[in-house]
Structure 1
Amino acid sequence: MPASAYTRTKQPEQVRRALLDHAASIAMDHGVSGVTVQAVAAAAGVTKGGLFHHFGSKQALIEGLFADLLARVDAEIDTAIEADPRLHGSFTRAYVNAVFTGKAFGFATPWAALSMVVVTDPSLRRLWNNWLKARLKRHRATDGTPDLQIVRLAADGAWLSYVTTGQTRMSADFRAVRDRLIAQTRPLARSRRR
Structure 2
Amino acid sequence: MSKAHHRKKHPEAVRQQLLEVAARLSLEKGPGSVTLDAVSQAAGVSKGGLLHHFPNKLSLLDGLFSDLTEKLDRVLAEKMQSDPEPKGRFTRAYVAVFFVPEGMDDSEQWKVLTIALISEPHLRERWRQWVERHLAENIGTDSSPDSVLVRYAVDGLWLADLLGAPTLDAETRTAMLGRLLALSRS
TM-score (norm 1): 0.82
Report the Cα offset of residue 44 of structure 1.
2.2
- Match for 1:104: what amino acid? D
Deviation of 1:77 after TM superposition, in Å, equals 1.0
Percent of residue pairs identical: 38
Q: Within 5 Å, which residues of 2 pair with 1:17-32?
A: 17-32=16-31
Per residue, is there more helix in 1 or in 2?
2
Instruction: Give the structure 1 partner of residue 105 of structure 2.
Output: 104
CA 1:135–1:122 in 2, change beyond 3 Å: closer, same or farther? same
2:12 and 2:164 map into 1 onto residues whose CA distance is 37
The change in CA–CA distance for 1:73 and 1:37 in structure 2 (over 3 A counts) is same
Provide the aligned length of Structure 1 versus Structure 2.
Answer: 182
Contact persistence 1:2–1:45 (CA under 8 A): no
- Alignment RMSD, CA only? 2.5
CA–CA distance in 2 between the matches of 1:20 and 1:181?
33
Alignment of 1:1-194 (within 5 A): 7-8=6-7, 10-101=9-100, 102-104=103-105, 109-111=107-109, 113-114=111-112, 115-166=114-165, 171-172=169-170, 173-187=172-186
Mapped partners of 1:139, 1:38: distance in 2? 42
Pick closer, same or farther for the CA change 1:144–1:50 going to 2, 3 Å.
same
Aligned-partner residue type, residue 98 of structure 1: V
Deviation at 1:150, TM superposition (A): 1.4
Question: For the residues of structure 1 that align with 2:27 and 2:164, how far apart are their CA atoms?
Answer: 17
CA offsets 1:44-72 (integer angstroms, 9 cap, x no match):
22111111111110111122112212122
CA offsets, 1:105-139, max 9 Å, x none? 6xxx3245421331221011112111111111111
After superposition, give the CA deviation of every residue in 1:2-25 in whole Å (9 maximum; x if it has no partner): 98x574574222221221122222
Is there any run of 5+ residues in structure 2 with no aligned partner, and where?
Answer: none
Q: How far apart are 1:185 and its partner, in Å?
A: 1.3
Shift of 1:166: 4.6
Distance 1:136 1:160 in 2: 21
Q: CA deviation at 1:80?
A: 0.7
> Post-superposition shift, 1:91?
0.4
Contact 2:23–2:108 at 8 Å: present in 1 too? no
Q: Give structure 1 stretches of 5+ with no counterpart.
A: 188-194
